[in-house]
A and B are shown apart, each in its own frame.
Chain A
């Protein structure tokens, strides 16, 4: 009798609980895209977001705020996995068109006191503002072991990132809640819940889509892949029910010696995903980024090589379902193999020459890159962990890790080809600490 009562109550409880919406919230108009003309990257502006408070910085994310500015987040510390790693945010001031001084919002210590468990290190963070204006920050923490022992924490801000609520631990895995990490941009459903692309890298490497409500409770989750070779999914929503996701590939090369980006699709708002297939872009086991484009459908940023991360390119998705390269943000193909420290420094000095900054600042960035990327007089270029968003004015904001030493922000437009050549300018983060005050307008574009 007791069994019937206990399980009867549980069954009734589940029957009375409303199912979540089965439709994505589409942040852009759902129109059949017209035939895509050739597109060109224009109005390119490059900036460095971080200051020199952390020796190593990594895994940036960016979100547009309703008030018009941008907020970026990343982690930084003395080394990857160090106890001193902190999560920083910075605001882009749409008036001065500069990034404010970074703010430390999370440390291992304060995450520990908020989640009531020992925390040794912090990792990847992603950020997004929901349709109600609440900022959601999901970030990874580890108590013991490496990244495979990660768990996700969630914090929100009701004042566009000025203050943050106490972090809450998300329970996402039945195996001691181990090994769930974030990298991809969160998406939203029509009922206000959040779709969080996550991945596991404990026994296997595979992607999942977590459904989280605005109270930080996991509603459900869907497996996007299985096995040991796919991780860090990023999702592009094309309609309330249709979406595609790209994933970093961590497996062996195919018969032709290539490793390629994986793609999976859904036709029921993420309830089920197709078996992943390769697309025509190489992937050296590195993160990818994806964003919507009004005529092309989607665009992405990739390290389109089989090994290392010395090249970072923008690709567009063509009507023939193939991807083609559009623009190169970073390309050190000519100098990629075993470059000496002297040549490395020279190459970076040449890169930063066009930055609007003091000589001291330029020297500092280069010397930090040498510190992080050189060993035994041999150095490596690394431009990775891209994170791409489209703002309300159809401008794109790309942030990525620059030689583990800087968080670089590139804003650009991707328009049908005109005769105007792309203009490129780069500048170092302004020391201004004023908060964003006015919304962006088309006249005040980034």
Chain B
């Protein structure tokens, strides 16, 4: 099973976890929900499991998105809340993704002759530019004390070397429209909550 197929199962599971607000449920409910989520991912609808419909619509998600979804799922099922430091790290990553998406998508969708997507192919002479871009991104996140999210970019880069997705393009491992939209939502929510200036209480099960 390629990482691409896993990504559609992750999306389905994360969607259910979000809809049922699993993080707030008691442990027994979460265990039951985990079983239901796993089972529902394999129940065929007109001969095809639901996640494969999701896959048809959004394609294979990047490794970065898959890692973020995995973290969200683990947190939801274990009832773990992120620390403020970790939230800041995610905000840094989201800003990086948003900045990247802002110039990357218009150019790759035919606005210019310049096509940075091409640099994502390992055989392209300018491939080092794509690698260098994300290296600088990871380095910046590290300097901002966001080693957690910096390592997400590193893991995605290593998985590109192993070819874990169907795609042979480095960009497809690092960014996708779903994580870009997710970044907009996450940053907007963070901004709204900051504007409300509510003091945050440390959660008793706070971990990572």
**Footprint of B on A, CB under 8 Å?**
2-3, 5-7, 9-11, 13-14, 17-20, 112, 116-119, 143-144, 168-169, 171, 173-178, 200, 202-206, 211, 217-223, 226-228, 275
B155 near A6: Cβ-Cβ < 8 Å: yes
Q: Please, how many angstroms separate the alpha-carbon atoms of A226 and B109 in the complex?
A: 9
Return chain A residues, CB-CB under 8 Å to B138: 3, 6-7
Contacts of B5 in A (CB 8 A): 116
Q: Does B70 contact A (CB under 8 A)?
A: no
B155 touches A119 (CB 8 A): no
Instruction: For the complex, give the distance between the alpha carbons of A362 and B127 in Å.
Output: 58
Q: How far is the CA of A17 from the CA of B122 in the complex (A)?
A: 7
Residues of B within 8 A of A173 (CB): 108, 117
Do the beta carbons of A117 and B56 come within 8 Å of each other? yes
Known: A9-B158, A174-B176, A220-B121. A14 touches B131 (CB 8 A): yes
> In the bound complex, do residue A174 and residue B128 qualify as a contact, i.e. CB atoms below 8 Å apart?
no
Among B57, B123, B142, B170, the residue within 8 A (CB) of A219 is B123
- Chain B residue numbers with a CB within 8 Å of A205 are 110
**Chain B window 169-185, contacts with chain A (Cβ cutoff 8 Å), 1 for yes, 0 for no:** 11110011110000000
**Distance between B34 CB and nearest chain A CB, rounded to angstroms:** 24
B125 within 8 A of A: yes
Query: Chain B residue with minimal CB distance to A215?
Result: B168
A116 to B1, CA, bound (A): 10
Which of A6, A144, A176, A200 has the largest number of chain B CB atoms within 10 A? A6
A119 touching B56, Cβ below 8 Å = yes
Interface pair B108/A175, CB less than 8 Å apart:
yes
Given contacts A171-B169, A174-B117, are A204 and B109 in contact (CB under 8 A)? yes
A-B CB pair tally, cutoff 8 Å: 140
Extra 17 A-B pairs, beta carbons < 8 Å, given A205-B110, A218-B169? A7-B134, A9-B161, A10-B160, A17-B123, A117-B53, A117-B56, A143-B57, A169-B166, A171-B60, A171-B172, A175-B177, A176-B59, A217-B168, A220-B118, A220-B123, A221-B121, A222-B118
Contacts of A227 in B (CB 8 A): 110-111
Do residues A175 and B128 form an inter-chain contact, with CB atoms below 8 A? Answer: no
Complex: chain B residue closest to A205, CB-CB = B110
Provide the residues of chain B in CB contact with A3, threshold 8 Å: 135, 138-139, 142, 150, 154
Tell me which of B109, B120, B161 contacts A203 (CB under 8 A).
B109
Name the B residues within 8 Å of A7 (CB-CB). Answer: 131, 134-135, 138, 154, 157
Contacting residues, chain B, for A206 (C-beta < 8 A): 110
How many residues on chain B are close to A (CB under 8 Å)? Answer: 55
Q: Which of B151, B168, B170, B176 contacts A176 (CB 8 A)?
A: B176
Is B112 positioned at the interface, with any CB of A under 8 Å from its CB? yes
Contacts of B177 in A (CB 8 A): 175-176
Cα A66 to Cα B32 with chains together (Å): 60
Check if B56 sits within 8 Å of A144, measured CB to CB. yes
Minimal Cβ-Cβ distance residue in B for A177:
B59
Cα-based distance from A169 to B55 in the complex (angstroms): 12
Q: How far is the CB of B87 from chain A (nearest CB, A)?
A: 22
Tell me which residues across on chain B come within 8 A of A219, comparing CB atoms: 121, 123, 168
Residues on B with C-beta less than 8 A from A178 are: 59
Query: Chain B 43-82, CB within 8 Å of chain A: the 1/0 string?
Result: 0000010001101111110000000000000000000000
> Which one of B53, B117, B168, B177 has the greatest number of beta carbons of chain A within 10 Å?
B168
List, in ascending order, chain B residues with CB within 8 A of A174's CB: 104-105, 108, 117, 120, 169, 171-172, 175-176
The residue in chain B whose Cβ has the minimal distance to the Cβ of A112 is: B48
Pairs A-B, 10 closest by C-beta atoms: A204-B110, A143-B56, A6-B154, A118-B56, A171-B167, A117-B56, A203-B109, A177-B59, A220-B121, A206-B110
- A-B pairs with beta carbons under 8 Å apart, 18 shown: A3-B142, A5-B154, A6-B155, A9-B158, A10-B170, A13-B122, A14-B122, A18-B123, A19-B123, A112-B48, A116-B52, A118-B48, A118-B56, A143-B57, A144-B57, A171-B172, A175-B105, A223-B115
Rounded to whole Å, the gap between the CB of B184 and the closest CB of chain A is 15
Most buried by A among B55, B56, B58: B56
CB-CB under 8 A from B122, the residues of chain A are 13-14, 17
| Chain B residues near A2 (CB-CB < 8 A) | 151, 154
Quick check: B158 and A6 within 8 Å, CB to CB? Answer: yes
Which residue on chain B has the smallest CB distance to residue A212? B168
B161 close to A10 (CB less than 8 A): yes
C-alpha gap A324/B179 in the complex (Å): 52
Q: Chain A contacts of B115 at CB under 8 A?
A: 221-223
In the complex, which residues of chain A have a beta carbon less than 8 angstroms from the beta carbon of B142? 3
Complex CA distance for A169 and B52, rounded to whole angstroms: 14
Give the docked Cα–Cα distance between A7 and B174 (Å): 13
Say if the beta carbon of B103 comes within 8 Å of chain A: no
Closest A residue to B8 using CB positions = A117
Tell whether, in the assembled complex, residue A175 and residue B109 are in contact, meaning their CB atoms are under 8 Å apart: yes
Shortest Cβ gap from A248 to chain B (Å): 15
Chain A residues near B161 (CB-CB < 8 A): 9-10, 13
- Nearest B residue to A228 via CB reads B110
A354 to chain B, nearest CB (A): 46
Q: How far is the CA of A11 from the CA of B5 in the complex (A)?
A: 27
Within B168-205, the residues touching A (CB, 8 Å) are 168-172, 175-178
A7 CA to B132 CA, complexed, in Å? 8
Shortest CB distance B141–A (Å) = 9
The answer on a CB contact under 8 Å between B55 and A176 is no
Q: What CA separation (Å) do A243 and B158 show in the bound complex?
A: 38
Contact B171 A218 (CB under 8 A): no
Question: What residues of B have a CB within 8 angstroms of the CB of A116 in the complex?
Answer: 5, 52, 55
Interface members, chain B 123-164 (any A CB < 8 Å) = 123-125, 127-128, 131, 134-135, 138-139, 142, 150-151, 154-155, 157-158, 160-161
Q: How far, in angstroms, from A173 to B105 measured CA to CA in the complex?
A: 10
Q: By CB atoms of chain B within 10 A, which of A2, A11, A118, A275 has the most?
A: A118
Smallest CB gap from B57: residue in A: A144
